[in-house]
Structure 1
Amino acid sequence: MSATLEHDHDLATRWARLREEEPRLRVRDAAQRLDVSEAELVASLPGATRLRPDWLALLEALHEAGEVMALTRNDHCVHERHGRYEQVSVSGPMGLVLGEDIDLRLFLRNWVHALHVPGGNPGSPRGSVQIFDAAGEAVHKVFATEATPEGALDRLADTLRDEAPAAIRTVPRAPRPTPRPDAEIDTAGLRDAWAGLRDTHDFFPMLRRFDVARQQALRLAGPHWARRLPSSAIERTLSAAGAGALPIMIFVGNHGCIQIHTGEVKRLVPMGEWFNVLDPSFNLHLRTTGLAEAWLVRKPTEDGVVTSIEGFDADGEVVLMVFGKRKPGQAEDMHWRELAEGIAA
Structure 2
Amino acid sequence: MRTAAEIRDEAASIDNMRAREKAAHMGLTEGQLVAAYTGHGTTRIEAHPDALIPAIAALGEVMALTRNDSCVIEKVGVYDNFRSGPHASMILNDAIDMRMFPSHWVSAFAVETETDSGIRRSVQVFDAAGDAVHKVHLRDTSSFDGWATLVEKLKTEDQSGVLEVTERKPTEAAKSNPEKAEILRAEWARMTDTHQFLRLTSKLRMNRLGAYRIAGEPMVRRVGTDTVAQAFEAVSEQGIEVMVFVGNRGCIEIHGGRCDTLKVMGPWFNVMDPDFNLHLRADHIAEVWAVTKPTQRGDAVSLEAFDSEGGLILQIFGRRTEAGGDHRPAWRAIVDGLPALESEEAA
TM-score (norm 1): 0.92
**CA-to-aligned-CA distance 1:139-176 (integer Å, 9 cap, x gap):** 10000012212343232111111023464200112333
Q: How far does residue 227 in structure 1 lie from its aligned partner after superposition?
A: 0.2
Which position in structure 1 is the counterpart of 2:17?
Answer: 25
Which position in structure 2 is the counterpart of 1:304?
Answer: 298
Cα distance in 1 between the residues matched to 2:57 and 2:33: 27
Match of 2:6 among 10, 27, 46: 10
Q: Is the 8 A contact 1:305 1:332 kept in 2?
A: no
Over 3 Å counting, the alpha-carbon distance change for 1:144 and 1:78 in structure 2 is same
The yes-or-no answer on 1:48 pairing with 2:42 is yes
Q: Alignment partner of 1:127: what SS?
A: strand
The yes-or-no answer on 1:293 pairing with 2:287 is yes
Which position in structure 2 is the counterpart of 1:337?
Answer: 332
Q: Alignment partner of 1:29: what SS?
A: helix
Amino acid in structure 2 at the alignment position of 1:255: R
Cα distance in 2 between the residues matched to 1:186 and 1:327: 37
**Greater alpha carbon shift after TM alignment, 274-283 vs 170-179:** 170-179
* Ranges of 4+ aligned residues in structure 1 off by more than 6 Å: none
Which position in structure 2 is the counterpart of 1:107?
Answer: 101
After TM superposition, the structure 1 = structure 2 runs for residues 1-345 of structure 1, keeping only pairs within 5 Å, are 7-19=3-15, 24-45=16-37, 46-120=40-114, 125-165=119-159, 167-180=162-175, 182-183=177-178, 185-326=179-320, 333-344=328-339
Q: Alignment partner of 1:81: what SS?
A: strand
Amino acid in structure 1 at the alignment position of 2:34: V
Q: How far does residue 344 in structure 1 lie from its aligned partner after superposition?
A: 4.0
Q: Is the 8 A contact 1:68 1:83 kept in 2?
A: yes
Amino acid in structure 1 at the alignment position of 2:17: L
Q: Is the 8 A contact 1:276 1:286 kept in 2?
A: yes
Over 3 Å counting, the alpha-carbon distance change for 1:252 and 1:178 in structure 2 is closer
Percent identity, please: 36
Cα distance in 2 between the residues matched to 1:192 and 1:59: 41
In structure 1, the gaps of 5 or more residues are none
- Tell me how many residue pairs correspond in the alignment: 334
Over 3 Å counting, the alpha-carbon distance change for 1:344 and 1:302 in structure 2 is farther
Q: How far does residue 35 in structure 1 lie from its aligned partner after superposition?
A: 0.5
Over 3 Å counting, the alpha-carbon distance change for 1:179 and 1:219 in structure 2 is closer
Cα distance in 1 between the residues matched to 2:202 and 2:327: 26
**CA-to-aligned-CA distance 1:24-57 (integer Å, 9 cap, x gap):** 3110000000001111101123221111234212
**CA-to-aligned-CA distance 1:261-307 (integer Å, 9 cap, x gap):** 01111110011100111111000000100001211000001111110
Q: How far does residue 213 in structure 1 lie from its aligned partner after superposition?
A: 1.7
Q: Alignment partner of 1:277: what SS?
A: strand
Q: Alignment partner of 2:148: what SS?
A: helix
TM-score (norm 2): 0.91
Q: How far does residue 211 in structure 1 lie from its aligned partner after superposition?
A: 1.4
Cα distance in 2 between the residues matched to 1:177 and 1:323: 24
Q: How far does residue 195 in structure 1 lie from its aligned partner after superposition?
A: 0.5
Q: Alignment partner of 1:82: what SS?
A: strand
Over 3 Å counting, the alpha-carbon distance change for 1:130 and 1:253 in structure 2 is same
